[in-house]
Chains A and B, each alone.
Chain A
Amino acid sequence: MISLKSFTIVGGALALLLLITIISLLWGQYPIDFHTFMGYMEFKLFGGAGNDTYTLLDNIILQIRLPRVLLAILIGASLAVSGAAFQAMFVNPLVSPGILGVLAGAAFGAALGMLISEQWYVVQVLAFVFGFVAVGVAVAIGGMVSNSRSTIMLVLGGVISSSLFTALLSVIKYVADPYRTLPAIVYWLMGSLTMADLHSVLLVSIPILLSIAGMIALSKYFDLLSLGDEEAKALGVNVPMVRFAAIILATLASSLSVVMAGMIGWVGLIIPHIIRMAFGPSHRLLIPLSAVVGAIFLLLADTISRLALSVEIPIGILTSLIGIPVFIIVLKNARAAWN
Chain B
Amino acid sequence: MELNPIITVNDLHFAYPKRSVLEGIDFTLNRGEVVSLLGPNGCGKSTLIRLILKLIHAKQGEIWLENKTIHRYSHREIAKHIAYIPQYHNVPFNYSVLEMVMMGRVSKSGFFAAASANDRATAYASLERIGIADLADRAFGHLSGGQKQMVLLARALTQEVNTFIMDEPVSGLDYGNQIRLLELINDLARQGYTFLKTTHYPDHALMVSSRVVVMNEGRIIANGLPEEVINSSMIREVYGIEADLITHNTNTWCIPTFSKGAL
Contact = CB atoms under 8 A, between A and B. Distances in A.
Interface stretch (A28-36, A58-66, A223-231, A302-310): A223-231
A44 interface: no
A221 B112 CA distance: 9
A235 B99 contact: no
Interface residues of B, number: 34
Nearest to A2: B114
Contacts of B93: 88, 93, 223, 226, 276, 281, 338
Nearest to A282: B99
B136 interface: no
Interface stretch (B31-39, B70-78, B168-176, B208-216): B70-78
B115 A226 contact: no
Given A220-B115, A235-B103, A339 B55 contact: no
B53 interface: yes
A105 B26 CA distance: 51
Given A234-B75, A235-B104, A337 B94 contact: yes
B74 A238 contact: yes
A217 to B, nearest CB: 5
B50 interface: yes
Which of A1, A226, A284 is packed against the most chain B CB atoms within 10 Å? A1
A224 B103 CA distance: 7
B91 A284 contact: no
B141 interface: yes
Given A221-B106, A339-B90, A339-B141, A233 B114 contact: no
A236 B92 contact: no
B76 A238 contact: yes
A164 interface: no
Contact of A91 (B53, B92, B115): B92
A227 B91 contact: yes
A220 B103 CA distance: 8
B90 A233 contact: no
Contacts of B94: 280-281, 337-339
Contacts of B117: 1
A238 to B, nearest CB: 6
Contact of A224 (B82, B92, B106): B106
B96 interface: yes
A93 B50 contact: no
B107 interface: yes
A234 B115 contact: no
A326 to B, nearest CB: 19
Interface in B206-253: none
Interface string A278-312: 00111010000000000000000000000000000
A92 interface: yes
A226 B114 contact: no
A226 B140 CA distance: 14
A237 interface: yes
Interface of A: 1-3, 88, 91-93, 217, 220-221, 223-224, 226-228, 230-231, 233-239, 276, 280-282, 284, 337-339
Q: What are the 9 tightest A-B residue pairs by CB atom distance, in nearest-first order? A: A236-B107, A236-B79, A281-B93, A234-B84, A236-B76, A233-B75, A339-B141, A230-B55, A217-B112
24 contacts: A2-B114, A217-B112, A220-B106, A223-B93, A223-B95, A224-B103, A230-B50, A234-B79, A234-B84, A234-B86, A235-B79, A235-B106, A236-B75, A236-B79, A236-B80, A237-B75, A237-B106, A239-B75, A281-B93, A281-B95, A282-B96, A337-B94, A338-B94, A339-B92
